[in-house]
């Protein structure tokens, strides 16, 4: 999977999370998530990743969800899954409106991660910044794949998938235990 990354914060992924290359790390998480969905060739998918702070994500949250407070992550899917198709099916027969004509990659959508929340939630939950970043990224990817967590059942499915991705990459909850 290909990620286009823009960091508009003072967050230093290498120093704070041990992530030397955010695009490559994100691609690794994305490839694992797509593999879980049965996608054989994840290189045909692309997403944009924006790293922002509380003020920027609060503004986006207000504009798009009418909630005037910061959140940890926002997802803006580019694909409509209301017809029941899966991300694997969409990648096998892509809609030209969701495909980059120059690269042929399917454009899954945009992910906005609040790096201030990455730091604070890692502390709150007692794990590394790297793990929190990967968790929020995986969570948002599943939104781009058409999943939601409006009901308890949907939330359980998403949580299981997120944990499977992190386990597959050996990104553990214990602070300092990340090896992925």
The 3 state secondary structure assigned to 2-66 is: EEEEEECCCCCHHHHHCCCCHHHHHHHHHHHHHHHCCCCCHHHEEEEEEEECHHHHHHHHHHHHC
Per-residue pLDDT tens listing for the chain (180 residues): 999 999 999 999 999 999 999 999 999 999 999 999 999 999 999 999 999 999 999 999 999 999 999 999 999 999 999 999 999 999 998 889 999 999 999 999 999 999 999 999 999 999 999 999 999 999 999 999 999 998 999 999 999 999 999 999 999 776 444 444
The structure tokens 């790390």 sit at 25
Structure tokens at 112: 């906005």
Do 107 and 98 contact (CB within 8 A), yes or no?
Answer: yes
Q: What is the pTM of this model?
A: 0.93
Q: Which CATH superfamily is domain 2-168 in?
A: Metalloproteases ("zincins"), catalytic domain (3.40.390.30)
């Amino acid at each position: 999977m290909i990620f286009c990354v823009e960091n508009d914060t003072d967050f230093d992924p290498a120093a704070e999370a041990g992530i030397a290359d955010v695009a490559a790390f994100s691609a690794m998480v994305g490839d694992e998530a797509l593999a879980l969905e049965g996608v054989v060739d994840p290189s045909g998918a692309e997403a944009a990743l924006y790293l922002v702070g509380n003020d920027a994500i609060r503004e986006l949250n207000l504009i798009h969800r009418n909630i005037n407070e910061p959140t940890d992550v926002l997802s803006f899917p580019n694909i409509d899954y209301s017809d029941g198709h899966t991300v694997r099916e969409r990648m096998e027969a892509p809609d030209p409106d969701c495909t980059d004509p120059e690269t042929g990659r399917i454009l899954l959508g945009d992910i906005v991660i609040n790096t201030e929340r990455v730091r604070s939630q890692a502390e709150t939950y007692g794990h590394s910044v790297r793990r929190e970043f990967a968790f929020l990224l995986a969570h948002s990817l599943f939104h781009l794949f058409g999943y939601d967590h409006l009901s308890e059942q949907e939330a359980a499915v998403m949580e299981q998938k997120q944990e499977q991705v992190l386990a597959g990459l050996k990104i553990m909850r214990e602070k300092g235990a990340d090896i992925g």
